[in-house]
Amino acid sequence: MTDNVRVRFAPSPTGPLHMGGVRTALFNYLFAKKHNGTFVLRIEDTDQTRYVANAEQYIIDSLEWCNIPFDEGPGKNEKFGPYRQSERKELYKKYAEELLEKGQAYYAFDTPEELQQLRDALEKEGKTFIYNWHNREQLNNSLSLSKEAVAAKLAAGEKYVVRFKTPQGERLEMNDEIRGTITIDTNTLDDKVLFKSDGMPTYHLANIVDDHLMEISHVIRGEEWLPSLPLHVLLYRAFEWEAPKFAHLPLILKPVGKGKLSKRDGDKLGFPVFPLAYTNENSGEVSRGYREDGYFADAFVNMLALLGWNPGTEQELFTLNELISAFDLNRVSKSGAKFSPDKTKWFNQQYLQNAAVKDLSEGYETILKERGIAESADYIQKVVSLVKERATFITDFWDLSDFFFQAPTEFDAKAAKKQWKETTPELMNGLIEVLEGIDDWTANVTEPIVKAWITEREVGFGKVMQPLRLSLVGALKGPHLFDIMEMIGKEATIQRIKHAIATL
Ligand code: GLU
Residue 159 annotated to the active site:
no
pLDDT of residue 212: 98
**Are residue 398 and residue 417 in the same domain, yes or no?**
no
Distance of CA 235 to the CA centre of its chain: 32
Q: Pick the catalytic residue: 153, 196, 263, 498?
A: 263
Whether 234 and 319 map to the same domain: the answer is no
Q: Is 210 in the pocket of ligand 1 (CB under 6 A)?
A: no
Q: If you average pLDDT over residues 450-465, what whole number do you get?
A: 95
Overall residue count recorded for the chain in this entry = 504
**Domain annotation covers residue 388:** yes
Cβ(11) – ligand 1 distance below 6 Å: yes
In this structure, the answer to whether residues 456 and 498 fall within a common structural domain is yes
The rounded mean pLDDT for the chain is 96
Atom of ligand 1 nearest to the CA of 10: 5
| Per-residue pLDDT at 150 | 98
* pLDDT greater than 50 at residue 182: yes
Count of beta carbons in the 10 Å neighbourhood of residue 477: 15
- Ligand 1 centroid to Cα of residue 151, in Å, is 35
Task: Flag whether pLDDT at 2 surpasses 60.
Answer: no
DSSP state of 260: B
The CA distance from 302 to 298, in Å, is: 6
**pLDDT in the model for residue 266:** 81
**Is residue 455 in some structural domain?**
yes
Strands (E), 10-166: 38-41, 105-108, 161-164
C-alpha span between 205 and 192 (Å, rounded): 10
Same structural domain for residues 344 and 363? no
User: Residue range 184-192: average pLDDT?
Assistant: 98
* Domain of residue 107, CATH code: 3.90.800.10
125 and 190 inside one domain: yes
- On whether both 117 and 186 belong to a single domain, the answer is yes
- What's the pLDDT tens digit per position in 142-169? 999 999 999 999 999 999 999 999 999 9
Residue 256, in any domain of the structure: no
Q: Which atom of ligand 1 is nearest to the CA of 14?
A: 4
Residues 107 and 68 in one domain: no
- pLDDT the model gives residue 270: 87
Beta strands (DSSP E) in 250-395 are 252-253, 278-279, 286-287, 337-338
> For residue 488, which of 366, 372, 386 has the smallest C-alpha distance?
386
- In the chain, what percentage of residues exceed pLDDT 90? 94
Quote the number of domains for the chain: 5
| Judgement on whether residues 217 and 189 belong to the same structural domain of the protein | no
Same domain, 71 and 209: yes
pLDDT of residue 389: 97
Specify the higher pLDDT residue, 373 or 264: 373
Q: Is the pLDDT of residue 310 over 80?
A: yes
Burial (CB < 10 A; 0-12, 13-18, 19+), residue 410, is exposed
What torsion, rounded to 10 degrees, do the Cα atoms 259, 261, 263, 265 define? 80
Q: Is 289 helix (H, G, I), strand (E, B) or coil?
A: strand
Flag whether 84 is in a domain.
Answer: no
Determine which residue's CA is closest to atom 3 belonging to ligand 1.
11
CA 255 / ligand 1 centre spacing (Å): 25
Q: Rounded to the nearest whole angstrom, what is the distance from the C-alpha of residue 309 to the centroid of ligand 1?
A: 20
371 three-class SS: coil
pLDDT at 268: 80
Give the per-residue pLDDT at 3: 67
Whether 10 is in the pocket of ligand 1, judged by its Cβ within 6 Å, is yes
If you take atom 10 of ligand 1, which residue's CA is the nearest one? Answer: 11
Q: Residue 241: CB within 6 Å of ligand 1?
A: no
Are residues 393 and 422 both part of a single domain? no
Q: Which of 203, 231, 233 to mutate to test the pocket of ligand 1 (most atoms within 8 A of CB)?
A: 203
pLDDT (0 to 100) of residue 418: 96
Indicate if ligand 1 lies below 6 Å from the C-beta of 221. yes
Helix or strand (DSSP H, E) at 308: none
* 47 C-beta closer than 6 A to ligand 1: no
Specify whether 71 is located in the same domain as 131: no
Q: Which parts of 240-281 fold into alpha helices (H)?
A: 265-269
Residue nearest to atom 5 of ligand 1 (CA): 10
Q: Write the CB contacts of 442 (distance below 8 Å, at least 6 apart in sequence).
A: 486
- The CATH code of the domain that includes 447 is 1.10.10.350
Q: What's residue 53's pLDDT?
A: 87
Residue 308 contacts residue 332 (beta carbons within 8 Å): yes
Residues 94 and 164 in one domain: yes
Could you read off the pLDDT of 24-75 as tens digits, one per residue? 999 999 999 999 999 999 999 998 888 888 999 999 999 999 999 999 999 9
Among left, alpha and beta (phi > 0; psi -120 to 50; other), residue 414 is alpha
Name the pLDDT band for 1 (thresholds 50, 70, 90). very low
Span 315-337, average pLDDT: 97
Residue 83 falls within a domain, yes or no? no
Return the ligand 1 atom nearest residue 211 CA: 9
pTM: 0.93
Does any domain span residue 257?
no
89, 88, 103, 194: which is closest to 142 by C-alpha? 103
Residue 85 lies in a domain: no
Which pLDDT score is estimated for 281?
Answer: 85
Q: From the CA of 43, how far away is ligand 1's center (Å)?
A: 9
The answer, yes or no, to whether any atom of ligand 1 lies below 6 A from the CB of 28, is: no
Could you tell me if 346 and 317 are in contact, meaning their C-beta atoms sit under 8 angstroms apart? no
CA–centroid distance, 357 to ligand 1, in Å, is: 41
Taking the chain, what is the end-to-end CA distance rounded to the nearest angstrom? 73
Ligand 1: distance of its center to the CA of 46 in Å?
A: 11
72 pocket-lining for ligand 1 (C-beta < 6 Å): no
Calculate the alpha carbon distances from 59 to 42, 73, 303 in Å. 11, 12, 19
In a domain, 143, yes or no: yes
Pick the closest to residue 182 from 218, 211, 212, 225 (CA basis).
Answer: 225
Q: What pLDDT shows up at residue 112?
A: 95
| Ligand 1 close to Cβ of residue 44 (< 6 A) | yes
393 C-beta closer than 6 A to ligand 1: no
Its domain, for residue 478, covers: 413-503
Ligand 1: centre distance to CA 221 (Å): 7
pLDDT tens figures, 384-429: 999 999 999 999 999 999 999 999 999 999 999 999 999 999 999 9
**CA-based nearest residue to 11, from 61, 67, 80, 65:** 61
